[in-house]
Structure 1
Amino acid sequence: MSPLIEITDSRVFDPEAIIIDVRAGANAYERYLAGHLPNAIYANLDDDLAEHPADPAFGGRHPLPSLTDFTATLGSWGIRPDSHVIVYDDKAGAMGGARLWWMLRSIGHTNVQVLNGGLKAATDEGLELSTDVYTPIAVTPYPVPPAYRNTVNIEEVEAAAKADDRVVIDVREGQRYLGYTEPLDLVAGHIPGAVNLFYSTSLSPEGKYLTSQALATIYKETIGDVNPQDVIVHCGSGVTACHTLLGMEQAGISGAKLYVGSWSEWSRRDLPIATENK
């Protein structure tokens, strides 16, 4: 199944599909109330797709929720192992939509897609949004898997960044990567050895992913001959990196891993930090 689905696809309006609206940031719920896809369940990035960290130095600003908590949440949304899940946000998938897609894929749920272009794609198409709060019918908690797959810890990232046969991709803005500014974490800069590929490089001016062929060209230029399973992707806190992981999957490049703690963990651990001049 393609990781993306278009707003013109009739499956978006299938009553059996589970639609999840994942917003983040200030007034996320108010923005949901102001307009969302019909029958879309509201999900909060910070509360539903992450734990509240006691110390971001160990897990970052958006550590993954426990598997027990996550699968209980899926059950409360009415999601079963065979459910078709469609997720979106209002940031072209970069702030919650792709994160939920990745989390579901990581526990083995393959029947999940992200709305290409997010909420904007729906409004551009002239779809009438709903202001009703949709309450799902809960089902038995989703089976708890043994682990989240395709994640790496800080030690593996440190080793990979030094290796010639591995690639660590930092998808934050270039100004943050180069060390000029850091609006969210304590220190500006990047992991020594990591390469920068801003996540929005994969998007068209309309906020949709580029074609699979164009995406493949971008990512192959970045990883070269490195096996995709030896590629690690990170961002500030393990959210926007999922947008790039989705793009890689759409391009037919499967197997890259997520460093969940990302820069928010690395920059708090007294580890080496690189900038443009260092």
Structure 2
Amino acid sequence: MSPLIEITDPKVFDPETIIIDVRAGAGGHERYLAGHLPNAIFATLDDDLAAHPEDPAFGGRHPLPAVKDFTGTLTKWGITPDSHIVIYDDKAAAMGGARLWWMLKAIGHKNVQVLNGGLKAATDAGIVLSTDDYQPKAAAAPYPTPAGYNGTADIDEVGEAAKSDDKVVIDVRENARYLGLTEPLDLIAGHIPGAENLFYAKNMDENGKYLAPEKLAEMYRSAIGNVKPENVIVHCGSGVTACHTLLGMASAGITEPRLYVGSWSEWSRRDLPIATDIV
């Protein structure tokens, strides 16, 4: 199953498909009520897909919720291990959609896809949006809770990987943040020494859809060279937009890279080496 699904695929509107609309930031619920896919469950990045950090220096600005809390949310949404899930957001999967996809894959859920192009793809296709506040029915049985999330890398692993010739750390933030020219969200500008920059927006075409798998594969291979996918670690500011690139990699058939959840928001608060290109 491709990790991406097109709005023209009838499975998107299959009554058995569970659709989840992920919104981020202030006013998310209001934007959802202004228009969403019919029967889409409302989810928020901050409350459903992240814990509230006591100190971003340990876990970053968007740490993962405890697994039991996440599976509890899935149960509340009526999801079972056999559910087919389609996810979207209003930022072409960059602000929550891909994060939820990654979290589901990280606990072993198989039948999950992201709507290519997000909400814009639906409106461009002339889909009539709903303005109701859809409330799902909880699943009859609790979603099984695994021991943890697979596919993560911690701060120590990232530091070692960035210095290694046979591993790659990819920073998907925009180039100005990577270079240390600006930092709108965290305390210190710059990047992890040795990390490569590959801005996540390069995953998309001019319509906000992912590039074709072969073009994505060419771009990623140029960045990681001959490094094995399991030795690739991807990060961003707080472990959200990095998932956009991990989704793109999966679309290109590169399925083993790991996520550094704490990302720059953790690294930059731990008195660790920081690189910039400011003279």
TM-score, length-scaled by structure 2: 0.99
Report Cα offsets for 1:134-182 as digits up to 9, x if no partner: 1101012210001100101000000000000000000000000000000
Question: Does structure 1 retain, via aligned residues, the 8 Å contact 2:162–2:168?
Answer: yes
The 5 Å alignment of 1:140-159 reads: 140-159=141-160
Determine the C-alpha separation between the residues in 2 that align with 1:117 and 1:170: 22
Equivalence for 1:112: 112
Question: Does structure 2 retain, via aligned residues, the 8 Å contact 1:98–1:114?
Answer: yes
Equivalence for 2:185: 184
4+ aligned runs moved over 4 Å, structure 1: none
The 5 Å alignment of 1:219-258 reads: 219-258=220-259
Equivalence for 2:75: 75
Equivalence for 2:17: 17
Determine the C-alpha separation between the residues in 1 that align with 2:28 and 2:278: 38
Determine the C-alpha separation between the residues in 2 that align with 1:170 and 1:239: 12
Determine the C-alpha separation between the residues in 1 that align with 2:241 and 2:110: 20
Determine the C-alpha separation between the residues in 2 that align with 1:15 and 1:79: 13
Question: Does structure 1 retain, via aligned residues, the 8 Å contact 2:169–2:194?
Answer: yes
Determine the C-alpha separation between the residues in 2 that align with 1:122 and 1:248: 23
Question: Does structure 2 retain, via aligned residues, the 8 Å contact 1:199–1:240?
Answer: yes
Report Cα offsets for 1:104-146 as digits up to 9, x if no partner: 0000001000000000000000100000111101012210001
Determine the C-alpha separation between the residues in 2 that align with 1:37 and 1:148: 29
Determine the C-alpha separation between the residues in 2 that align with 1:122 and 1:243: 19
Report Cα offsets for 1:192-249 as digits up to 9, x if no partner: 0000000010100000000000000000000000000000000000000000000000
SS for the counterpart of 2:170 is strand
SS for the counterpart of 2:91 is coil
The 5 Å alignment of 1:1-278 reads: 1-139=1-139, 140-277=141-278
- Structure 1 unmatched ranges of 5 or more: none
SS for the counterpart of 1:133 is coil
Determine the C-alpha separation between the residues in 2 that align with 1:17 and 1:225: 38
Aligned length, in residue pairs: 278
Q: Tell me how far 1:277 sits from its aligned partner.
A: 3.9
RMSD: 0.7
SS for the counterpart of 1:41 is strand
Determine the C-alpha separation between the residues in 2 that align with 1:231 and 1:30: 38
2:170 partner letter: I
Determine the C-alpha separation between the residues in 2 that align with 1:225 and 1:174: 24
SS for the counterpart of 1:186 is coil
Question: Does structure 1 retain, via aligned residues, the 8 Å contact 2:89–2:118?
Answer: yes
TM-score, length-scaled by structure 1: 0.99
SS for the counterpart of 2:42 is strand
Determine the C-alpha separation between the residues in 1 that align with 2:54 and 2:147: 24
